[in-house]
Amino acid sequence: MRDRVRYWARMVRHAPDQLLHRYRRHQVLQRLKEQRPIERVVFVCHGNINRSAYAAAAFARALEAERCDGIIVRSAGFVGPGRAASELAQRVAMRRGIDLSQHQSRLIDANELRTADLIVVMSTSQRRSVYRIARQSDPFVIVLGDLDSEPIARRTVQDPYGHPEEVFVQVFDRIDRCIAQLVRGIRG
């Protein structure tokens, strides 16, 4: 009985994410077309050792493949500067042709957020935190999961930290889908 209650509570809590997904995706893509030029992009997640590290590297690779030059790509987190990407993140990324072995986590910087043309976060709570940190400016912040080309269970891109490799694979698959849409949106 308790499991059934939890299941339905979770379903109700995430129903708006599922119902509004297509609308949010359309809105983000529309805003990307209007936001010109985009020259500085910052990817943000909690610790900057898994999601944002991988997303920034995947985005940089996708830009290179599309011959989109001149965009500065950075990543940062809210905690723990100077850490390497997690071992599982490195392993799963390497199988996708992305080398995270030189990655070092960074703390988000208010000035960097204020000068970024686009800030990409993994959850709505991170979005609120970015707005608080950036204060006196009105940064363009998107939740990466809003760009998913597939139906979603949740808007948040799950944090794979502490989970098995299969979860990293699923999370990086989702990030790859979202990055493809982000590049498409930036190219117009």
Asked whether residue 6 carries a pLDDT value surpassing 90, the answer given is no
What are the phi and psi torsion angles at 184 (to 5°)?
A: -60, -40
113/134 Cα distance (integer angstroms): 6
- Looking at residue 99, its pLDDT comes to 98
Query: Is CATH 3.40.50.2300 correct for 2-187?
Result: yes
- Looking at residue 142, its pLDDT comes to 96
48/83 Cα distance (integer angstroms): 8
Least confident span in 3-17, 60-74, 99-113: 3-17
pLDDT interval class at 155 (50, 70, 90): very high
pLDDT interval class at 98 (50, 70, 90): very high
Residue-wise pLDDT tens digits, 106-140:
999 999 999 999 999 999 999 999 999 988 778 89
54/187 Cα distance (integer angstroms): 21
pLDDT interval class at 63 (50, 70, 90): very high
CB 143 within 8 A of CB 52: no
- Looking at residue 90, its pLDDT comes to 98
- Looking at residue 13, its pLDDT comes to 66
170/23 Cα distance (integer angstroms): 24
Q: What percent of the chain has pLDDT over 70?
A: 95
Higher pLDDT, 70 or 55: 55
- For the chain, the average pLDDT equals 92
Beta strands in the chain (DSSP E): 40-45, 72-77, 118-121, 141-143
Which residue carries 């930036």 as its tokens?
186
Closest CA to 41 of 80, 68, 78: 68
